[in-house]
Every structure is written in structure tokens, then in C-alpha cells.
Amino acid sequence: MTAAIIDGKAYAEALRARVAAAVPAFVEATGRKPGLAVVLVGEDPASQVYVRSKGKAMVAAGLESFEHKLPDTTTQEELSALVERLNADEAVDGILVQLPLPKGVDEKAVISTIDPAKDVDGFHVINAGRLAVGEEALVPCTPLGCLMLLRDRLGDLSGLDAVVVGRSNIVGKPMAQLLLQENCTVTVAHSRTRDLPGVVRRADIVVAAVGRPQMIRGDWLKPGATVIDVGINRIQIGEGKTRLVGDVEFESASEVAGAITPVPGGVGPMTIAVLLRNTLVAAHARAGLPAPEGL
Ligand code: GUN
């Protein structure tokens, strides 16, 4: 079998276009654009790249982007004071504090300072709790993007066996909650799971979010399974040469799976598109407007 490629890049472009199309009605109703504040602390090169692309995507979709760059000597108190100011700022609908934060800054303490109504990352315990009990919540961008791709590919997910490999607060746990809401039978596997290949082989849906390059191989998969690869790992392929690979060994997996996301071009582009979506949704909720349709 040769798996169908799940084109996250195309889906993300279409989602960004739907967000952009909904912005003028918001501006008409409120007299302002939806706004996202992105806070970057320190000089982490990967984070700088992410923050730049988030800003660009915001502006391209007609949203307002406020960037706050702070030195890596910033204290927790200074960072929390900035978040408090953004909480109170009427022009700011979403607040994203780019992770990881420098050593010595308590990420949990900073995230807990963010107004849950502006928590477009969905990292605040209030949003995590709302998601867990099935209430309206802002949901972390990457797992929500994965769910959109799964729904687009499979339609109704009810009754399917889903295995999420990885139990992070950012991807694994919220992904499991979302799949439960879709009536999947969900298993969360992790580094201590016994017989991981055997567990993965039961799955109709595999979401790989472990951060280990090419760990999940084709012979671990049930034929026809739908594979969502969240991993983005840079590996050395020769003298000074590197390549981006996922947590799934693409070549062998694509011979067994029914459909698979590539790396790059699968889940990656979805994260920013969903961030735009979450910002627009948060802006509507704050303005007392009904959520825009089709997002
Ligand atoms: N660092 C890597 N991914 C993310 C993300 O989705 N949100 C934030 N805030 N930081 C990140």
C-alpha cells in the first residue's frame, strides 16, 4: 500500500484564508482588528524564527500583531508584569508567550498569569480543565490542527482506536482529550509503555508526538492506519548536511499506512493557522460576538 499524503500546508492555507475572510466583519462590528501579542524572551534561534513567521501570518490575514522582545536576563516578575499589562490592554485579544523560557523563569507561573480568555495557546489550567470536562475552551494549536486534518481525512472518528504517542501538556494530553470528544477509544503511550510497537499496531489513528526522530516504523502500523506526525527533528545526514524528519520513519510507514502527514508540510503549517483561528475566536468572544462560522 502507498499512503495518501495529508497535505497540511494546503489545509493550513485554506484555514488562513477563512480567517482572513472573517476579519472585515469583526472590524466593521468593533472598529478594530483582532490583535495578538507575542512575547519572546531571549535569543533562542528557533523561537526567533517561529515568532517572525507568526507575526507575518497575522499581518497577512489582516490581524494586528504586537511583538514584545525581552532580554534573557528578564526576571519572572518583569515578565508577569508585562503579561498583566497585556491582560488589561483592550487591543489585545490573544497573548502568546513563546516557550521555552530562559532558565530561572517558571513557565507555569507565567502561563497562569495570562487571562484565560486571551490564552490562545490553550496552556492555562482553566482552558486545560475546560477541555477535559468538555466545556468551551481555547485549545492548544497543534493538537487542534491535528484533529482538523483527521476530520478532513476520515470524517466521523467515532469508535476508532486512536493511539497518541507522547504525553506532553502541549500536544499529547490535549490531543487525547480531543480524540475522546470525537468518541475514539484513546490510548496514550509514552516512554514507559510496554510493547510500544504492539500498542501502536492496534491503532486506526496514530498521533506521534514524542520528539524522537523516526522512532515509529512501518512494521509498527496496522495496514491502512492514518498517521499524524507531529515531530520536527533535525538530523545529520552527512558532512555539514541536515534534514528535517518526523517521529515516524516516513519511507517504511508510507508503505503500510492509509494516509500520512509529511514532515515538513504536514502538521507544522497547521499550528500557525490554528493560532490565527484561536485569536479570531478569542476576539469574537471578548467582543460578545458569535463565533465566526466554518473555523
Ligand atoms: N514553542 C514551541 N511551540 C510552541 C507553541 O505552540 N506555543 C508557545 N507559546 N511556545 C511554543
Q: pLDDT by residue (tens digit) across 213-223?
A: 999 999 999 99
Cβ of residue 121 lying under 6 Å from some atom of ligand 1 = yes
Output the pLDDT for position 75: 94
Please give the CATH architecture assigned to the domain spanning 14-135+270-282.
Answer: 3-Layer(aba) Sandwich (3.40)
Q: Looking at the DSSP assignment, which residues form a beta bridge with residue 65?
A: 36
Mean pLDDT of the chain: 97
Q: pLDDT by residue (tens digit) across 12-36?
A: 999 999 999 999 999 999 999 999 9
% of the chain at pLDDT higher than 90: 98
Of these residues, 93, 119, 121, 229, which one is catalytic?
A: 121
Q: Say whether 141-266 and 14-135+270-282 share the same fold.
A: yes
Domain spanning 141-266, CATH class: alpha beta
Catalytic residue check, 121: yes
Of these residues, 98, 115, 214, 229, which one is catalytic?
A: 98
Q: What is the mean pLDDT of residues 76-97?
A: 97
Grid coordinates of 255:
508503505
Q: pLDDT by residue (tens digit) across 159-189?
A: 999 999 999 999 999 999 999 999 999 999 9
Ordered by start, the domain boundaries in the chain are 14-135+270-282, 141-266
Output the pLDDT for position 217: 98
Which atom of ligand 1 is nearest the CA belonging to 170?
6
Closest protein CA for atom 11 of ligand 1: 99
Query: At 226, is the pLDDT very low, low, confident or very high (cuts 50, 70, 90)?
Result: very high
Please spell the DSSP secondary structure of 183-241, one letter per residue: T-EEEEE-TT-TTHHHHHHT-SEEEE-S--TT-B-GGGSPTT-EEEE---EEEEEETTE
Q: Which element (helix H / strand E) includes 260?
A: strand 259-260
Query: At 122, is the pLDDT very low, low, confident or very high (cuts 50, 70, 90)?
Result: very high
Output the pLDDT for position 91: 98
